[in-house]
Amino acid sequence: MSPAKTPMGAARGAIIPVGGAEEKMSDARILRRFVGLCGGQEAKIAVIATASQLADTGDRYEALFTELGAGRVRSLPFETRADCDNPELLDKLVRATGVFMTGGNQLRLATTLGGTDVARTIRTLNAAGVPVAGTSAGAAFLSEHMIAHGEDGAVPRANIVTLAPGLGLTNRVVIDQHFRQRDRLGRLLTALAYNPFAIGVGLDEDTAAFIGPDETLEVVGSGGVTIVDCSNVEYSSMDQVGDHEAVCLIGLRMHILTAGATFNLHTRIATAPHAVAAPS
Protein backbone atom coordinates (compact mmCIF):
# COMPACT_ATOMS: atom_id res chain seq x y z
CA MET A 1 0.00 0.00 0.00
CA SER A 2 1.28 3.47 -0.90
CA PRO A 3 0.48 6.80 0.81
CA ALA A 4 -2.63 8.63 -0.35
CA LYS A 5 -2.10 11.71 -2.51
CA THR A 6 -1.98 14.93 -0.49
CA PRO A 7 -4.72 17.36 -1.58
CA MET A 8 -3.55 20.55 -3.26
CA GLY A 9 -2.67 23.17 -0.65
CA ALA A 10 -2.67 20.68 2.22
CA ALA A 11 0.20 19.26 4.28
CA ARG A 12 0.28 15.62 5.34
CA GLY A 13 -0.39 14.95 8.99
CA ALA A 14 2.31 13.70 11.33
CA ILE A 15 3.10 9.99 11.37
CA ILE A 16 4.01 8.92 14.90
CA PRO A 17 5.36 5.43 15.60
CA VAL A 18 5.88 4.74 19.33
CA GLY A 19 8.14 1.97 20.59
CA GLY A 20 5.60 0.65 23.09
CA ALA A 21 5.30 0.92 26.89
CA GLU A 22 4.95 4.71 26.61
CA GLU A 23 4.69 6.57 29.91
CA LYS A 24 1.01 7.13 30.63
CA MET A 25 0.99 8.80 34.04
CA SER A 26 3.78 10.96 35.51
CA ASP A 27 5.45 12.13 32.28
CA ALA A 28 3.17 11.28 29.37
CA ARG A 29 5.08 13.57 27.01
CA ILE A 30 4.47 11.42 23.91
CA LEU A 31 0.72 11.08 24.37
CA ARG A 32 0.39 14.72 25.46
CA ARG A 33 2.17 15.95 22.34
CA PHE A 34 -0.05 13.74 20.17
CA VAL A 35 -3.17 15.25 21.78
CA GLY A 36 -1.82 18.73 21.05
CA LEU A 37 -1.24 17.92 17.39
CA CYS A 38 -4.80 16.60 17.17
CA GLY A 39 -6.25 19.89 18.42
CA GLY A 40 -6.11 19.72 22.22
CA GLN A 41 -9.50 20.61 23.66
CA GLU A 42 -10.93 20.56 20.12
CA ALA A 43 -9.44 17.15 19.32
CA LYS A 44 -11.58 14.25 18.15
CA ILE A 45 -9.39 11.18 18.58
CA ALA A 46 -10.31 7.78 17.16
CA VAL A 47 -8.68 4.91 19.07
CA ILE A 48 -8.30 1.65 17.15
CA ALA A 49 -7.54 -1.26 19.48
CA THR A 50 -7.84 -3.98 16.84
CA ALA A 51 -4.35 -5.33 17.56
CA SER A 52 -5.11 -6.01 21.22
CA GLN A 53 -6.66 -9.14 22.70
CA LEU A 54 -7.59 -7.25 25.90
CA ALA A 55 -11.19 -6.08 26.08
CA ASP A 56 -10.39 -2.88 28.00
CA THR A 57 -7.53 -1.54 25.85
CA GLY A 58 -9.68 0.92 23.93
CA ASP A 59 -11.39 2.13 27.10
CA ARG A 60 -8.04 2.72 28.81
CA TYR A 61 -6.78 4.92 25.99
CA GLU A 62 -10.10 6.77 25.91
CA ALA A 63 -9.57 7.65 29.58
CA LEU A 64 -5.89 8.53 29.08
CA PHE A 65 -6.47 10.93 26.20
CA THR A 66 -9.41 12.52 27.98
CA GLU A 67 -7.25 13.11 31.07
CA LEU A 68 -4.64 14.72 28.81
CA GLY A 69 -7.18 17.26 27.60
CA ALA A 70 -8.56 15.81 24.36
CA GLY A 71 -12.01 17.16 23.55
CA ARG A 72 -13.56 13.86 22.45
CA VAL A 73 -12.16 10.34 22.31
CA ARG A 74 -13.87 7.27 20.89
CA SER A 75 -12.64 3.71 20.69
CA LEU A 76 -13.93 2.28 17.41
CA PRO A 77 -14.51 -1.52 17.54
CA PHE A 78 -13.07 -2.71 14.24
CA GLU A 79 -12.84 -6.32 15.39
CA THR A 80 -13.68 -8.05 12.08
CA ARG A 81 -13.44 -7.18 8.41
CA ALA A 82 -17.22 -6.84 8.40
CA ASP A 83 -16.90 -4.12 11.06
CA CYS A 84 -14.62 -2.25 8.65
CA ASP A 85 -17.59 -1.80 6.29
CA ASN A 86 -19.90 -0.50 9.05
CA PRO A 87 -21.06 2.95 7.83
CA GLU A 88 -21.73 4.21 11.36
CA LEU A 89 -18.18 3.40 12.51
CA LEU A 90 -16.68 4.78 9.30
CA ASP A 91 -18.62 8.03 9.77
CA LYS A 92 -17.06 8.43 13.23
CA LEU A 93 -13.60 7.66 11.86
CA VAL A 94 -13.80 10.17 9.00
CA ARG A 95 -14.60 12.96 11.50
CA ALA A 96 -11.46 12.29 13.58
CA THR A 97 -8.72 14.89 13.95
CA GLY A 98 -6.33 12.19 15.16
CA VAL A 99 -6.05 8.40 14.93
CA PHE A 100 -4.24 6.21 17.48
CA MET A 101 -3.63 2.48 17.04
CA THR A 102 -2.77 0.46 20.13
CA GLY A 103 -0.34 -2.39 20.66
CA GLY A 104 -0.98 -6.11 20.41
CA ASN A 105 -0.41 -8.14 17.26
CA GLN A 106 0.42 -6.28 14.05
CA LEU A 107 -0.74 -9.20 11.91
CA ARG A 108 -4.19 -8.79 13.43
CA LEU A 109 -4.13 -5.19 12.25
CA ALA A 110 -2.95 -6.17 8.78
CA THR A 111 -5.42 -9.02 8.28
CA THR A 112 -8.40 -7.13 9.75
CA LEU A 113 -7.89 -3.62 8.36
CA GLY A 114 -5.79 -4.27 5.26
CA GLY A 115 -7.60 -3.50 2.01
CA THR A 116 -10.72 -2.17 3.76
CA ASP A 117 -12.42 1.22 3.81
CA VAL A 118 -10.90 1.77 7.27
CA ALA A 119 -7.34 1.55 5.91
CA ARG A 120 -8.22 3.75 2.93
CA THR A 121 -9.89 6.30 5.21
CA ILE A 122 -6.88 6.50 7.54
CA ARG A 123 -4.53 7.07 4.58
CA THR A 124 -6.84 9.77 3.21
CA LEU A 125 -7.12 11.47 6.61
CA ASN A 126 -3.35 11.50 7.07
CA ALA A 127 -2.80 12.89 3.57
CA ALA A 128 -5.24 15.69 4.43
CA GLY A 129 -3.39 16.66 7.62
CA VAL A 130 -4.66 14.34 10.37
CA PRO A 131 -1.95 12.93 12.69
CA VAL A 132 -1.83 9.13 12.88
CA ALA A 133 0.03 7.38 15.70
CA GLY A 134 0.59 3.78 16.66
CA THR A 135 2.31 2.16 19.61
CA SER A 136 4.14 -1.20 19.52
CA ALA A 137 2.19 -3.30 16.99
CA GLY A 138 0.42 -0.12 15.88
CA ALA A 139 3.82 1.45 15.12
CA ALA A 140 4.98 -1.49 13.01
CA PHE A 141 1.76 -1.30 10.96
CA LEU A 142 2.13 2.35 9.92
CA SER A 143 4.58 1.87 7.05
CA GLU A 144 4.22 0.13 3.70
CA HIS A 145 6.65 -2.68 4.59
CA MET A 146 5.80 -4.18 8.00
CA ILE A 147 7.83 -6.58 10.13
CA ALA A 148 5.20 -9.19 10.96
CA HIS A 149 7.45 -11.21 13.25
CA GLY A 150 11.05 -12.35 13.57
CA GLU A 151 13.79 -13.66 15.81
CA ASP A 152 15.76 -11.59 18.31
CA GLY A 153 19.52 -11.06 18.25
CA ALA A 154 22.09 -8.56 17.02
CA VAL A 155 23.23 -10.30 13.82
CA PRO A 156 21.22 -10.27 10.56
CA ARG A 157 20.42 -13.80 9.39
CA ALA A 158 18.59 -15.01 6.31
CA ASN A 159 14.91 -15.82 6.77
CA ILE A 160 14.63 -14.73 10.43
CA VAL A 161 12.09 -12.05 9.50
CA THR A 162 8.64 -12.26 7.94
CA LEU A 163 7.51 -9.10 6.15
CA ALA A 164 3.91 -8.26 5.30
CA PRO A 165 2.09 -5.27 3.80
CA GLY A 166 1.38 -2.54 6.32
CA LEU A 167 -0.97 0.45 6.30
CA GLY A 168 1.17 2.39 3.84
CA LEU A 169 1.28 5.88 5.36
CA THR A 170 4.92 6.04 4.30
CA ASN A 171 7.14 3.90 2.08
CA ARG A 172 10.41 5.41 3.30
CA VAL A 173 10.91 3.38 6.49
CA VAL A 174 10.76 -0.05 8.06
CA ILE A 175 9.82 0.23 11.75
CA ASP A 176 10.64 -2.05 14.67
CA GLN A 177 9.60 -1.50 18.29
CA HIS A 178 10.65 -2.51 21.84
CA PHE A 179 13.98 -2.27 20.07
CA ARG A 180 16.75 -2.26 22.67
CA GLN A 181 14.64 -4.05 25.27
CA ARG A 182 14.10 -7.08 22.99
CA ASP A 183 17.43 -7.07 21.12
CA ARG A 184 15.94 -6.54 17.66
CA LEU A 185 18.83 -5.05 15.69
CA GLY A 186 19.43 -8.26 13.73
CA ARG A 187 15.87 -8.58 12.49
CA LEU A 188 15.72 -4.92 11.44
CA LEU A 189 18.99 -5.32 9.53
CA THR A 190 17.63 -8.46 7.89
CA ALA A 191 14.48 -6.61 6.80
CA LEU A 192 16.66 -3.85 5.34
CA ALA A 193 18.85 -6.38 3.52
CA TYR A 194 15.66 -7.40 1.71
CA ASN A 195 14.66 -3.73 1.17
CA PRO A 196 17.86 -1.64 1.03
CA PHE A 197 16.04 1.41 -0.34
CA ALA A 198 14.24 1.87 3.00
CA ILE A 199 15.49 3.46 6.23
CA GLY A 200 15.38 1.37 9.39
CA VAL A 201 13.77 2.95 12.46
CA GLY A 202 14.25 1.02 15.70
CA LEU A 203 12.21 2.49 18.56
CA ASP A 204 13.02 1.88 22.21
CA GLU A 205 10.16 1.71 24.67
CA ASP A 206 8.69 5.05 25.84
CA THR A 207 10.19 6.64 22.72
CA ALA A 208 8.49 7.99 19.61
CA ALA A 209 9.47 9.34 16.21
CA PHE A 210 7.31 12.31 15.21
CA ILE A 211 7.59 12.40 11.41
CA GLY A 212 6.39 15.72 10.05
CA PRO A 213 5.15 16.66 6.57
CA ASP A 214 8.68 17.82 5.67
CA GLU A 215 9.91 14.21 6.19
CA THR A 216 11.87 15.24 9.29
CA LEU A 217 11.74 12.76 12.15
CA GLU A 218 12.05 14.16 15.69
CA VAL A 219 12.67 11.95 18.72
CA VAL A 220 10.47 12.34 21.79
CA GLY A 221 10.67 10.22 24.94
CA SER A 222 13.10 8.69 27.41
CA GLY A 223 14.90 6.16 25.18
CA GLY A 224 16.64 6.13 21.83
CA VAL A 225 15.79 5.70 18.18
CA THR A 226 18.21 3.65 16.10
CA ILE A 227 18.38 4.83 12.48
CA VAL A 228 19.91 2.46 9.92
CA ASP A 229 20.69 3.96 6.49
CA CYS A 230 21.51 1.47 3.72
CA SER A 231 21.88 4.02 0.92
CA ASN A 232 25.67 3.55 0.73
CA VAL A 233 25.82 -0.21 1.26
CA GLU A 234 28.75 -1.56 -0.76
CA TYR A 235 28.11 -5.26 -0.34
CA SER A 236 25.38 -7.64 0.85
CA SER A 237 25.56 -11.43 0.97
CA MET A 238 21.78 -11.83 1.34
CA ASP A 239 21.45 -13.47 -2.07
CA GLN A 240 24.10 -16.09 -1.25
CA VAL A 241 23.41 -17.34 2.29
CA GLY A 242 21.24 -20.23 3.44
CA ASP A 243 18.48 -20.24 6.05
CA HIS A 244 19.58 -18.70 9.37
CA GLU A 245 23.10 -18.05 8.10
CA ALA A 246 24.62 -14.70 9.07
CA VAL A 247 24.42 -11.95 6.43
CA CYS A 248 27.43 -9.78 5.60
CA LEU A 249 26.58 -6.10 5.13
CA ILE A 250 29.32 -3.56 4.36
CA GLY A 251 28.78 0.19 4.28
CA LEU A 252 25.83 0.60 6.64
CA ARG A 253 25.42 3.93 8.37
CA MET A 254 23.83 4.03 11.82
CA HIS A 255 22.68 6.80 14.16
CA ILE A 256 21.47 6.58 17.76
CA LEU A 257 19.15 9.52 18.36
CA THR A 258 17.76 10.73 21.67
CA ALA A 259 15.08 13.28 22.60
CA GLY A 260 15.30 16.40 20.46
CA ALA A 261 17.51 14.85 17.78
CA THR A 262 16.21 14.79 14.20
CA PHE A 263 16.70 12.85 11.00
CA ASN A 264 15.50 13.94 7.58
CA LEU A 265 14.18 10.95 5.64
CA HIS A 266 14.76 12.73 2.32
CA THR A 267 18.27 14.12 2.77
CA ARG A 268 19.24 11.38 5.28
CA ILE A 269 20.96 13.94 7.50
CA ALA A 270 20.86 13.56 11.29
CA THR A 271 20.98 16.52 13.68
CA ALA A 272 21.92 16.38 17.37
CA PRO A 273 19.61 17.72 20.09
CA HIS A 274 20.05 21.42 20.84
CA ALA A 275 22.94 21.90 23.23
CA VAL A 276 21.92 22.79 26.78
CA ALA A 277 24.04 25.39 28.49
CA ALA A 278 25.85 24.21 31.60
CA PRO A 279 24.58 25.76 34.87
CA SER A 280 26.67 28.73 36.02
Identify the active-site residue in 143, 205, 218, 236. 205
Known catalytic residue: 231? no
DSSP 104-160: S-HHHHHHHHTTSHHHHHHHHHHHTT--EEEETHHHHTTBSEEEEEE--SSS-BTT-
* H, E, C per residue of 169-238: CECCEEEECCCCCCCCHHHHHHHHHHCCCCEEEEECCCEEEEECCCCEEEEEECCCEEEEECCCCCEECC
Identify the active-site residue in 52, 143, 178, 218. 178
Known catalytic residue: 178? yes
Q: Are 195 and 147 within 8 A, CB to CB?
A: no
Question: Radius of gyration over alpha carbons of the chain, in Å?
Answer: 18
Identify the active-site residue in 136, 143, 145, 236. 136
Known catalytic residue: 236? no
HSE-up (13 A, CA, CB side) for residue 31: 27
CA 63 from centroid of its chain's CA atoms: 22
Question: Which residues lie across from 83 on neighbouring strands?
Answer: none
- DSSP H or E segment with residue 216: strand 216-221
Phi, psi (5° rounding) for residue 218?
Answer: -120, 135
Q: Are 218 and 31 within 8 A, CB to CB?
A: no
Question: Which residues lie across from 263 on neighbouring strands?
Answer: 217, 270
Query: From CA 103, how far away is CA 141, in angstroms rounded?
Result: 10
Q: Are 228 and 217 within 8 A, CB to CB?
A: no
Question: Which residues lie across from 72 on neighbouring strands?
Answer: 44
Q: Tell me the one-letter amino acid at 166.
A: G
Residues annotated as catalytic (active site), given as ranges? 136, 178, 205
